[in-house]
Amino acid sequence: MSKNLLEIKDLSVSYGGIRAVKGISFEVPEGEVVTLIGANGAGKSSTLRSIAGLEKPAGGSILFDGKELVQMGTEQIVTTGITLVPEGRRVFPNLSVLENLKIGAYQRKDSLDQDIAWIYGLFPRLEERSWQMAGTLSGGEQQMLAIGRALMSKPKLIMMDEPSLGLAPIVVQGVFDIIKEINKQGVTILLVEQNANMALKAAHRAYVMETGKITLSGTGKELAENEEVKAAYLGKAKNK
Amino acid sequence: MNMKKTTKTICTLIAAAAFIVLLVFLESNKNKYGMAVTVLQKGFILAVVAVSMNLLNGFTGLFSLGQAGFMALGAYTYAIFTIPVESRASVYYISGMNPVLAGIELPMLVALVAAGLMAAAFAAVIGFPVLRLKSDYLAIATLGFSEIIRALIASPQMDTITNGSYGLKSIPAASIYVVVGLCIICIAIMALLINSSFGRAFKAIREDEIAAEAMGINLLKHKELAFVISSFFAGIGGGLLAMFMRSIDSSTFKIAMTYDILLIVVIGGMGSITGSVLSALLVTASKEWWLRFFDEPLTIAGVNIPLFRNGFRMVIFSILLMVVVLFYRRGIMGTSEFSWEGLTGLIKSIPSRVTSLFHKKEGAAR
């Protein structure tokens, strides 16, 4: 049994009195792919944003590698080893692919050449387009760039907010292959997805969120076979 | 189209040498080419301020209109500390000079750095509240700040420091080498900054604040940094302007000054340093020099053309501006920088551009 890299306890997030996340607890063990699935507005993105320090949690604790993150700013959290791939890719459109990657490593002061070579190894398409403006890439390539950019900070944990959003099915398959590949190379992954089918297949462990609470948890396989999950998220009718 | 690195270095060296020869030539024939000397100096000074504004508006994406205010702070700081002590009585002939300041005379370079620091200090203080605002609101707040500074400088209460509305004169002159040299140093420092990792962080903020924040870039800290650095160089630009004009007056630093600078930045291209420099020189030259003949009465074949009179050049200038903005929507340089490859590419493309202009008219409509 591997140790927990990230431990969330009673985390809640509020937006002006509205509680988006209502005291959730979950763990992300080191070296695994963990996914949070759920409908729109379930609080998945808010959870990721508060772990990344972009949103101040209203309460609870976030322990990463034994360190409390709640009081930290995003810069420190990135330095500690967590990076968020934001929803909707959000690459810097008028900067080149290479510049985008370099900004990903902004908090690092050491040499980047090796890591750029690593990213280009993972995504050969990005190397071909090294000098192209990121805004001219296709949706799939932009998602690759967003993931590559996040990896440039050498994170122990990478959090991805809906990496399959707005991509063609064949491209989505490519993104999930990359997720598995990155995981194999030792990066722990916390994945938020609406594409429950793909996410559950890729994940070692999964949690289902509904209106700010975690309602179900288990291994990816268990949840994929769970009747309620099937009915609600996988578009399959309950067997009566 | 790849040029050899040595070829590029040689081109750069030749250009630099030609520029130095031009400066020496102008300095030794000052009386004959007075206009060129003036335009070159003023153009470079405005280039410093334009690049500083571009750093903020073009590279960091913060729409600020406070440049004239920071220039005023710099110009007055520089002037107050460099006017020779013996001529101060005649400058402050109305109410005398503040006794604390009256004895302090600083060397030119020290005063110039002080000018930059004064502007930077004001920027640091107003930056914290103001930089929480976005786009138009930030523009209005900085515009207001700039006017407040100008009004303060001109107010009678400040008579013993700024000489109120009488302005300051007898500022020591500097040679064209000093003015242009200092301008080039300032622009080079800003260019280095923009190409550093700080510059990349500024561009990331311009492109997407949320993504920049997620990458661990502290938004407020970097915006504040860009604002302070930009104001520092606007202050230096103001100091250089005082050095060049030798007498300053608060009315020089009206909103119109900010608009002039903004115009240079937009014409040159938001996000291009060389664009700002090029445009500063072109705009200054056409405003002050090349279009002058429109102001002179013109007689062709005994008929006096009625339009040619004082002020007509500004009409022509405005029309030219509109044409430039229509045909180069993103400014002369866009967001790219000058390169020798770009120049040779442009020259080589001229024949095909000219022919395409004649062959299909829709080329111009694009």
The two beta strands, A157-161 and A82-85, are parallel
What would the pLDDT profile of B274-308 be if each residue is shown by its tens digit? Answer: 999 999 999 999 888 888 777 777 777 777 777 77
pLDDT at A231: 81
Residue B28 falls within a domain, yes or no? no
Q: What is the DSSP string of A135-193?
A: GGS-HHHHHHHHHHHHHTT--SEEEEE-TTTT--HHHHHHHHHHHHHHHHTT-EEEEEE
**Contact residues, B window 264-283, toward A, CB-based 8 Å cutoff:** 271
What is this model's ipTM?
Answer: 0.88
B2 CB within 8 Å of a chain A CB: no
With contacts defined as CB-CB under 8 Å, which chain A residues touch B213?
Answer: 54, 74
- The CATH class, in words, for A4-233 is alpha beta
Residue to mutate among A50, A82, A103, A137, with most B CBs inside 10 A, is: A103
Mean predicted lDDT score pLDDT of chain A? 90
* Dihedral sign (CA B19, B74, B197, A100): negative
Residue type, A139: G
**Same domain membership, residue B318 and residue B250:** no
For residue B271, give the chain A residue with the closest CA.
A94
pLDDT at B322: 86
Residue B326 falls within a domain, yes or no? yes
* B360 confidence band (pLDDT: 50, 70, 90): low
* B44 confidence band (pLDDT: 50, 70, 90): very high
Q: Indicate the residue among B245, B277, B309 that finishes a domain.
A: B277
Residue B30 falls within a domain, yes or no? no
pLDDT at B331: 82
pLDDT at B363: 45
What would the pLDDT profile of A40-84 be if each residue is shown by its tens digit? Answer: 888 899 999 999 999 899 999 999 998 899 989 899 999 999 999
Nearest residue, CB atoms, B216 vs list A78, A86, A90: A78
Residue B54 falls within a domain, yes or no? yes
**Same domain membership, residue B162 and residue B42:** yes
pLDDT at B342: 81
* B190 confidence band (pLDDT: 50, 70, 90): very high
Nearest residue, CB atoms, A90 vs list B197, B208, B218: B208
Contact A78 B200 (CB under 8 A): no
Q: Is the pTM of this model over 0.80?
A: yes
What would the pLDDT profile of A105-164 be if each residue is shown by its tens digit? Answer: 988 888 888 999 999 999 999 999 999 999 999 999 999 999 999 999 999 999 999 999
Number of domains in chain B: 3
Domain range holding B365? Answer: 341-366
pLDDT at B2: 62
- The helix (run of H) or strand (run of E) holding residue A78 is helix A74-80
What would the pLDDT profile of B202-258 be if each residue is shown by its tens digit? Answer: 999 999 999 999 999 999 999 999 999 999 999 999 999 999 999 999 999 999 999
Percent of chain A with pLDDT over 90: 66
Q: How many residue pairs bridge chain A and chain B with CB atoms within 8 Å of each other?
A: 70
- The residue extents of the domains of chain A are 4-233
**Same domain membership, residue B84 and residue B52:** yes
**Same domain membership, residue B53 and residue B121:** yes
* A236 confidence band (pLDDT: 50, 70, 90): low
